[in-house]
Amino acid sequence: MTATAASDFLPFVRPEIDADTIAEVGKVLASGWITSGPKMQAFEDALSQVFGGRPVRTFANGSATMEIALRIADIGPGDEVITTPITWVATANVVLAVGAKPVFVDIDPRTRNIDLDAVEAAITPRTRAIMPVYLSGLPVDMDRLYAIAAKHKLRVIEDAAQAIDSRWQGKRIGAFGDLVSFSFQANKNITSVEGGCLVMNTPEEAVRAERLRLQGVIRSGMDGMDVEEPGGKFNLTDVNAAIGLAQLAKLDAITARRAALAETYFRCAADAGLADLGIELPLPLDPQQATTNWHMFQVVLPTDRLEGGPQQARQNVMQAMRERGIGTGVHYPPIHLFTYYRSLGWREGMLPHAERIGRGIVTLPLFPAMQATDVERVCATLSETCKRLSK
């Protein structure tokens, strides 16, 4: 098979930074103030408006936001945090970073998000927080989540890294709730190249977050400096903030474009007969409940029907797609089966839905510059590939 020319290759994501944004970055560089400064403050103010006026602080990345959220919630050694295994490993790593224990529960195979029945069953006297992840931007049942948290007096730290502009019953994720973390990494719906923000409840939490993101330093007067608790080096630069501000201004258009492409995906998937091949599509949504930002369009392959079986089938499909000029991704293998987490006692069979989804999930290309013809090409190629690789 002839390799596809690089210019024809369709990646699964492509960030878009326009000329005006590049010019704004140039102005920041020329200003002489390139670390945290007025652009960062403007970005935080703009984000606060998006989230209904709640306190918002920006950080160097979306992992730092979650670690700071855990510290604001005073979670540490001896505490447990319930979360999902189908997420970027940072979700669990930050729990370990503060000395607490991540407790994985299985997922709902329809939504691929954390199973709230399993969450409630896993609560112990040591549980201090629930950390849901909104995979591909799809929220969990927020009413149920917060009812469980209130019943058991738990904090909720929402890993909304993928969920900027997703909504629950018409309300933006982040405009309500407890501690809500977003990422602006390069593959997110809006990006600051690297970066993230944390939405909080009170000015006091925001002040503590400011301290913790810059070594815990407290300044007073012209020369006063003190540290009451250690922090880290997590501040966002004005260079990143300038990019984030420009992207945030386009949020509505980006969300609308992604929704249109997702609708095209469902149509093209039906035309290509993907469901007939055993390929599982994302859950169709009830717009009166959860509205996703379509951060990703993910399918689950029927690995037991394809050459290579559960261990090799996905790799075979991804390689074949790549040879046809289409990039794909894996988001995510189940964390509990990584070597380190196995050393903590996790094993195959403990979370069967997560393990099956984790073996077969594939992220298909989705970004605003795509056209309907690109989506048609992806679905047709996936269909042809799975037919060819069927046992």
List the structure tokens of 70.
């855990």
Of 171, 188, 250, 387, which is the active-site residue? 188
pLDDT beyond 50 at 353? yes
Measured distance CA(246)–CA(248) in Å, rounded:
6
Q: For 217-228, what is the mean pLDDT?
A: 94
Distances in Å between the Cα of 107 and the Cα atoms of 201, 312, 358 are 28, 23, 10
Mean pLDDT, the chain, whole residue set? 96
Residue 180 class from Cβ within 10 Å (0-12 exposed, 13-18 middle, 19+ buried)? buried
List pLDDT tens digits, range 366-381: 999 999 999 999 999 9
Q: For 327-343, what is the mean pLDDT?
A: 98
List pLDDT tens digits, range 55-106: 999 999 999 999 999 999 999 999 999 999 999 999 999 999 999 999 999 9
Give residue 329's pLDDT band: very low, low, confident or very high (50, 70, 90). very high
Q: Per-residue b/e over 343-368, b at no fewer than 16 CB within 10 Å?
A: eeebeeebbebbbbbbbbbbbbbbbb
pLDDT beyond 60 at 298? yes
Q: For 182-201, what is the mean pLDDT?
A: 98
Q: Among residues 236, 262, 237, 276, which one has the least CA distance to residue 363?
A: 262
Q: Rounded to the nearest 10 degrees, what angle do helices 38-50 and 238-248 cross at?
A: 30
Q: What is the pLDDT of residue 6?
A: 59
Q: What is the pLDDT of residue 4?
A: 53
| Ramachandran category for residue 190: left, alpha or beta (phi over 0 → left; psi -120 to 50 → alpha) | beta
Q: For 271-285, what is the mean pLDDT?
A: 93
CA atoms within 13 A on the CB side of 48: 17
Q: What is the pLDDT of residue 284?
A: 75
Give residue 2's pLDDT band: very low, low, confident or very high (50, 70, 90). very low
Distances in Å between the Cα of 288 and the Cα atoms of 141, 166, 387 are 12, 12, 37
pLDDT: is 82 or 1 the higher one?
Answer: 82
pLDDT beyond 90 at 18? yes
pLDDT beyond 60 at 1? no
Measured distance CA(276)–CA(281) in Å, rounded:
11
Helices in the chain by DSSP H: which ranges? 19-31, 38-50, 62-72, 90-97, 116-122, 142-152, 203-212, 238-248, 251-271, 309-323, 339-342, 352-360, 372-389
Find all residues with CB under 8 Å of 61, minimum gap 6, and list them: 183, 185, 194, 195, 196, 234
List pLDDT tens digits, range 123-150: 999 999 999 999 999 999 999 999 999 9
Asked if 188 is an active-site residue, the reply is: yes
Residue with tokens 């469901």: 275
Residues listed for the chain: 391
pLDDT beyond 60 at 231? yes
The answer to whether the CB of 346 falls within 8 A of the CB of 337 is: yes
pLDDT beyond 80 at 236? yes
Give residue 5's pLDDT band: very low, low, confident or very high (50, 70, 90). low
DSSP-derived letter for residue 51 is T
Percent of all residues in the chain with a pLDDT value above 90, rounded to a whole number? 95
Q: What is the largest CA-CA distance in the chain?
A: 73
Q: For 237-258, what is the mean pLDDT?
A: 98
In sign, the C-alpha dihedral spanning 240, 244, 245, 246 is positive
Measured distance CA(250)–CA(15) in Å, rounded:
13
The answer to whether the CB of 60 falls within 8 A of the CB of 194 is: yes
The answer to whether the CB of 166 falls within 8 A of the CB of 145 is: no
The answer to whether the CB of 44 falls within 8 A of the CB of 57 is: yes
The answer to whether the CB of 297 falls within 8 A of the CB of 265 is: yes
Q: Which domains does the chain have, with CATH numbers?
A: 19-248 (3.40.640.10), 251-389 (3.90.1150.10)
